[in-house]
Amino acid sequence: MKPLRIATTLILGLALILSGCGNGGTETPPANGDINGETAPVAGLQEPIAHEPSFLTSVGQSADVQMVKTLLDRAELEHEFAPVGRVEELTDQYKTLILVIGGSSKGLGAAGIQPEEEMSRATALVNKAQELDLVIITLHVGGEARRGELSDPFITNIAPAADYLIVVEEGNEDGLFTRIAVDDNIPMDIVTSIAGAGEPLEAAFVK
């Protein structure tokens, strides 16, 4: 497990996926991104690394976590769903931590959480997962709408701790996730839609 790098300064509905769960949206383009004008290749996941049950939580309190829960349900992967999961809830009964990164001011407000508190919660969960030697799978499925001033600090501070990244390509147009994957040697698969994230997510688990 890689140590989580924390920045010294922390800045900081539910969309339907059912219509995209047919044959469309399942193509997986190469996980390449632009870094300083050059295309950098990123390897996708080559073999399953995760085990059930998993602990699913949000980083940023967007509705994206609900979509990923639907994908897990469809794949019949055993998981505990805790959008505002606390570090004391993450025990050795779990084998995998699934983080869905996407900041939502509405979601944070509804949960009564400030961005700094959410960052602290996510950081504590990652540190605990590393202590327990859990696999960390991080998803960003909200695309461009989940990038920007609120979401990006969650991405840059939390995503480098992942053992595997799954990203909807629209959210990686500036190559941010590619840079993280390259710098931290993280396998990453890019999909064209939220529904397309289901296949690599399921494939990440040992059967």
Tokens of 174: 């500036």
39-70 tens-digit pLDDT = 457 899 999 999 999 999 999 999 999 999 99
126-167 tens-digit pLDDT = 999 999 999 999 999 999 999 999 999 999 999 999 999 999
- Angle between helices 151-158 and 176-183 in degrees, nearest 10: 10
65's CB contacts (< 8 A; 6+ apart) are 56, 57, 58, 81, 83, 100, 102
- Taking the model in full, what pTM does it have? 0.83
Q: Residues 147-177, buried b or exposed e (16+ Cβ, 10 A)? A: beebbbbbbebbbbbbbbbbbbbbbbeebbb
Q: How far apart are CA 15 and CA 117, in angstroms?
A: 25
Domains of the chain, start order: 40-203 (3.40.50)
Q: How far apart are CA 63 and CA 131, in angstroms?
A: 28
Tokens of 203: 């494939």
